Structure 1
């Protein structure tokens, strides 16, 4: 335990939660006597929300105070953890009206091997990769643990859960928990024939949450998608689903020369299709222009609260038409404050 880090966090908690000096003195005395800092549920809730506020790469921080927090630190059996993860998926999905949610498990005892709770598998075949190339290595891990997918382009991976260094256990997510959106275009029906789809909720499960010097290796969290995450990255990147050539063919774009800007035009149409599909199905999503406007409101709120704004410019600018947003035209200080979410090495 680093008492200085604990005190810094509790001073922030006291300030923003309007606690008294007496409360702070008593709380610090309790911790010194116990020689261990175990956050209360209230402190944990405050910590994960501030961690979102401090997330330099996130454009959606305006809504940090709405994060729904599930304290699952007392759940230490794999089956029960799986049940808690299903509840997270169900609650967050909310029939498409996505709710920002985080579930925090016991620090240093629970690991979730998945990058996201819902993610598509990737298979190497003689004719190339089927599915998501990003998932090829983890798919192999799942297969080595006994899981078998149907080897389609959109197989949902199982959850791999490990407790106290024991052998990891594999759990299949029931279909009814996974809301997916078939991708179609508002004007060109041929796009639907590509058979594309994407899952409704991005629940990151590979990052560690840190507050007051305490690391929580398993703390899956979600907001809702910004359309470009799917339309300009997941489905469009050359090393992901690489769908721009197929979209260009549907729209009869000239792919024989770079100057036709066929990639740009295909990218716009694919993003239009993603936004249209999610909205038509009643699934929460935000376009990058609206997200940028929301981030401006976050900037103004932070200034009003006399907090220094931090940000990672390379992540905050959207991957589609970034120069059309105000974010592109201003610098950000990329200093990481805690509480925060950090990358960690995969356990496999």
Structure 2
């Protein structure tokens, strides 16, 4: 049975490897005829059960995975992704250090650069490293009662697990940086304090200069770096490969700060704006949501930090579709993720349908990723 499983596994890797190598050579004509490379991959796979991507293949594969991300509206610039090749690293402390360096480089003084750092892949008999944290930057959520949380309610379970693991906690503000949780090869998960110099944060103020917003201390970090997805390229799984683009304003203003299971700020914003919250028919939630999103966009602009608005990003996505169609490539998309969470019908991406196409070169949530992000079984 074990021999049969090994054969099936190698056959699957070869099938995906062949598909990727042919795609790489087709889209990079300077690479020449793929036959020699395919023969080398097949021989290496037969000998070791896996194969190693060339640096050029790794770069192209990571970019194609972004191009194939059905839930991402910001794919127009997929070919600009900076790839940091750190495949030689397997120890948790080395991975954590490179993750923080990733943040510094991607932040780029506020001119955020799409970046990915790729660590050692899975290999036969040796699983690759894991980053438990959902993103490289997360804020703590404190509280003794489920309905009362200081900070990000989504991160309460992880915060409690880290406190149980020995993290002393932050100063207790709504925006305390959580440590990064990394599991090296043949190691248990460990936490690493997030250096303040690796995280650029933007104070959130209302664009009309309302003084009553300043005392809130609202802020958000500049770089949305996803860290618990697996990068799959040609049958090889890079289990730790944090990547980032830049924020679209609604991610912060309509989700992170507004969702009832996150910061739930809409009631407080409405009260500060003097809105009638006695009935939903006053549309106080809608008005508060727009003002919160205005505040996010204006604050990032004033700070000189890259951010996109949902109208511009929607037009860019249609430009991406047109560009890919001209090249003869089909584009998959998940409508529920592509349409912005505010004013959806006012954007051009709303008024069409998409096919959610699977791909063998992609960023994937593997089983257990969300449970790790919540810190389950961390202690």
Q: Is 1:106 equivalent to 2:106 in the alignment?
A: no
Q: Which residue of 2 aligns with 1:123?
A: 142
Q: Contact between 1:96 and 1:200, CA under 8 Å: does it hold in 2? A: yes
Q: Secondary structure at the match of 2:275?
A: coil
Query: Distance in 1 between the 2:134 and 2:351 partners?
Result: 32
Q: How does 1:11-160 map to 2 (within 5 A)?
A: 11-19=22-30, 22=33, 24-35=34-45, 36-108=50-122, 109-126=128-145, 128-150=148-170, 151-160=172-181
Q: Contact between 2:64 and 2:78, CA under 8 Å: does it hold in 1? A: yes
Q: Secondary structure at the match of 2:29?
A: coil
Q: How does 1:311-326 map to 2 (within 5 A)?
A: 311-326=333-348
Cα deviation code 1:7-32 (max 9, x no counterpart): 0000000100114664x111111122
Q: Contact between 2:140 and 2:152, CA under 8 Å: does it hold in 1? A: yes
Query: Distance in 2 between the 1:78 and 1:325 partners?
Result: 43
Q: Secondary structure at the match of 2:60?
A: helix
Q: Which residue of 1 aligns with 2:244?
A: 222
Query: Distance in 2 between the 1:20 and 1:73 partners?
Result: 22
Range moving further from structure 2, 4-13 or 31-40: 31-40
Q: Contact between 2:81 and 2:115, CA under 8 Å: does it hold in 1? A: yes
Query: Distance in 2 between the 1:232 and 1:222 partners?
Result: 19
Q: How many residues align?
A: 347
Q: CA deviation at 1:102?
A: 0.1
Q: Which residue of 1 aligns with 2:310?
A: 288
Q: Contact between 1:54 and 1:338, CA under 8 Å: does it hold in 2? A: no
Q: Contact between 1:116 and 1:204, CA under 8 Å: does it hold in 2? A: yes
Moved beyond 3 Å, runs of 4+: 19-22
Q: Which residue of 2 aligns with 1:179?
A: 200
Q: How does 1:199-278 map to 2 (within 5 A)?
A: 199-278=221-300
Query: Distance in 1 between the 2:362 and 2:92 partners?
Result: 26
Q: Secondary structure at the match of 1:116?
A: coil
Cα deviation code 1:84-121 (max 9, x no counterpart): 11110100011111000000111132111100000101
Query: Distance in 2 between the 1:90 and 1:197 partners?
Result: 18
Question: 5+ residue gaps in structure 1?
Answer: none
Q: Which residue of 1 aligns with 2:220?
A: 198
Question: 5+ residue gaps in structure 2?
Answer: 1-9, 123-127
Query: Distance in 1 between the 2:296 and 2:357 partners?
Result: 33
Query: Distance in 2 between the 1:99 and 1:295 partners?
Result: 18
Q: Secondary structure at the match of 1:51?
A: helix
Q: Secondary structure at the match of 2:134?
A: coil
Q: CA deviation at 1:65?
A: 0.4
Among 325, 328, 336, the residue aligned to 1:306: 328
TM-score normalised per structure 2: 0.89
Q: Secondary structure at the match of 1:124?
A: strand
Query: Distance in 1 between the 2:19 and 2:150 partners?
Result: 49
Q: CA deviation at 1:192?
A: 2.3
Q: Contact between 1:231 and 1:267, CA under 8 Å: does it hold in 2? A: yes
C-alpha RMSD over aligned residues: 1.3
Cα deviation code 1:285-326 (max 9, x no counterpart): 001001011111101101111111210000000001000011
Q: Secondary structure at the match of 1:218?
A: coil
Q: Secondary structure at the match of 1:43?
A: helix
Query: Distance in 2 between the 1:218 and 1:76 partners?
Result: 10
Q: CA deviation at 1:141?
A: 2.2
Q: CA deviation at 1:77?
A: 2.2
TM-score normalised per structure 1: 0.97
